[in-house]
Structure 1
Amino acid sequence: MNSSPIGARRRRFVLESPIEEPDGFGGSLRRYVAGPLLWGAITPLGATERAGGGRADRRATHRIRLAYRDGVAPPMRLSAGPRRFAIRLAGDPDGRRRDLLCEVEELVEATSEPRP
């Protein structure tokens, strides 16, 4: 797989890492802490459908190509402005440590309209 030219990585992403904190009732709460700023390219792949709560939810899936960096894995996520992407899979496509391909699922806030 060929490396994409630097100019193709126009979108700015923030890598967010999860932090688990006790909720005071014996459980835990997950929040995300913003990490490094990364430049990448995003390609839509389609949508997945999940059943839950008596209805089917469609979620957009994408592939995000970044410059290679160690330690990127689920359950981290990427954000681009108001959009959030849960990382489902991250890997080096050719083993040369130049690119990092992330298969992601776009997260939609419960109060907002789903993206087409």
Structure 2
Amino acid sequence: MAPLFLDPGLFSRRVALDEPVIVPDGAGGGETGWQEVRNLSVRIEPLSVEARERFDQREALVTHRVLLRKTVSVERGMSFRIGGRRLVILSVHDPDESGRYLVCRCEEER
């Protein structure tokens, strides 16, 4: 397989990479919060919008593909934060197994 070529100029969006942390609620449980790990330059591509009903309300499920230079700190379950938006990472893979790039499939949290 030939190595994937990506123009470095594609990684023009700055985002915060956040990891989930459990914040104790004082009653023995916890709530998931987010803690910033680092900032990254990425390319964000919208993939799909799916309308669905949940608890008698219509909502939209929006998915994105996020491309970035490979870093060991990106894992499934983390998220990218862009302003007030959050893209939760569903999967992470190396598209050409060269160790240079990562492709993350994400779902926008509403």
RMSD between aligned alpha carbons? 1.6
Cα offsets for 1:10-60 (capped at 9, x unmatched):
000110011112211121111101111100111111123444212332121
Counterpart of 2:64 (choices 43, 58, 62) is 62
Q: Which ranges in structure 2 are unaligned for 5 or more consecutive residues?
A: none
Provide TM-score, normalisation by structure 2. Answer: 0.88
Runs of 4+ more than 6 Å apart: none
Provide TM-score, normalisation by structure 1. Answer: 0.84
For 2:50 and 2:99, locate their aligned partners in 1 and report how far apart those are by CA, in whole Å: 29
Counterpart of 2:35 (choices 24, 33, 39) is 33
Q: Which ranges in structure 1 are unaligned for 5 or more consecutive residues?
A: 109-116
Identity, % of aligned positions: 31
Shift of 1:76: 0.6
Which residue number in structure 2 is paired with residue 2 of structure 1? 4
For 1:78 and 1:84, locate their aligned partners in 2 and report how far apart those are by CA, in whole Å: 6
Q: Name the amino acid aligned to 1:45.
A: L
Number of residue pairs the alignment of both structures matches: 108
